[in-house]
Amino acid sequence: MSADIQHIVRPVVTRFAPSPTGRLHIGHAWSALMAMDMARTGGGVLRLRIEDIDGVRSRPEHVAGIIEDLRWLGVEWDGEVMFQSARLALYDAALDRLKADGLVYPCFCTRAEIAAEIAASGSAPHGSGGPLYPGTCRLLSDQERAERIDAHEPHCWRLDMARAVARAGPLSWQDMDRGTITAHPERAGDVILARKDAPTSYHLAATVDDAEMGITHVLRGDDLLSATDIHRLLQALLGLPSPLYRHHLLLADAQGKRLAKRTGGIALADLREQGVNPAHLREDLRAERFPVGIRLLSA
């Protein structure tokens, strides 16, 4: 069976995957509703995955708030709520595999050292998130790495992007709206796969989970388009299937600034307090009628 046909005959398994770093806003509500509708029209399943690997910014009260907000809005998910913080062993195993394949290396640099290195080099290559990591720790010897790890020097683990891309060969992924997209993960440089303060990263945890949960369709904001290139590469390196993707536009406020969890006034909790009827809100969001001052941010 070809990959395309598999996508057509398999029931939809999708997910909503918020990070519990604040309350949900109207953009999350729109995204969660689209995910639920995608699951329901395909006779499929919507999972709720809490991306709480960031031990400092993730808060239990935000988890409770997210669940309360989704219930109020009428978003129904299937099965238990999943917590990434309870799945660290899975991400560890994936990282171990990449270590065994020589595709990741420990990086001991501090932010200040990286900034100084970039400033000194004058012409650092840039990715979508700013200047790329200059690769300092890629050049360390195995012996130095081992000694510094033994000495408990704080370190993250970075993907050796050039090696990884050479190992995987040319890659593409399927976007439900835009068709076949050629992946350019090299634009992101040596991304972090396990952070200094967390045993994994968004990229690794999301890729491993999407595969392990049997996710067939990933729906998320178009701010994560370049992340999908990285996830496609990790899928290839780890022998994981690649789901179909859809990237929706983000919402912006009257000033044209992208909505963030901290932006006041459009949190679902506030709308609920103002007495907004969730059935009407669902109807409006499905018709892309947003509250006054909120609009789609064109890509």
Q: List residues near ligand GLU by CB under 6 A.
A: 17-19, 51, 206, 220, 224
Q: Which residues have C-beta within 8 Å of that of residue 23, sequence separation ≥ 6? A: 62, 65, 66, 69, 261, 267, 268, 269
Q: Smallest distance from the beta carbon of 28 to ligand GLU, in angstroms?
A: 8
Q: Smallest distance from the beta carbon of 170 to ligand GLU, in angstroms?
A: 23
Type of residue at 194: A
Of the two residues 236 and 259, which places its CB atom closer to ligand GLU in the complex? 259
Q: Smallest distance from the beta carbon of 20 to ligand GLU, in angstroms?
A: 9
Tell me the C-alpha distance between 150 and 146, whole Å: 6
Report which secondary-structure segment, H or E, holds 95: helix 88-100
Q: Smallest distance from the beta carbon of 66 to ligand GLU, in angstroms?
A: 10
Of the two residues 126 and 258, which places its CB atom closer to ligand GLU in the complex? 258
SS3 call for 25? strand
Tell me the C-alpha distance between 103 and 89, whole Å: 19
Q: Which residues have C-beta within 8 Å of that of residue 143, sequence separation ≥ 6? A: none
Of the two residues 156 and 215, which places its CB atom closer to ligand GLU in the complex? 215
In the chain, the N- to C-terminal Cα span, in Å, equals 35
Pair 227, 203: CB distance under 8 Å: yes
| Residue least distant from ligand GLU (Cβ) | 220
Q: Smallest distance from the beta carbon of 31 to ligand GLU, in angstroms?
A: 8
Of the two residues 17 and 118, which places its CB atom closer to ligand GLU in the complex? 17
210's tokens: 């999407």
Of the two residues 136 and 174, which places its CB atom closer to ligand GLU in the complex? 174
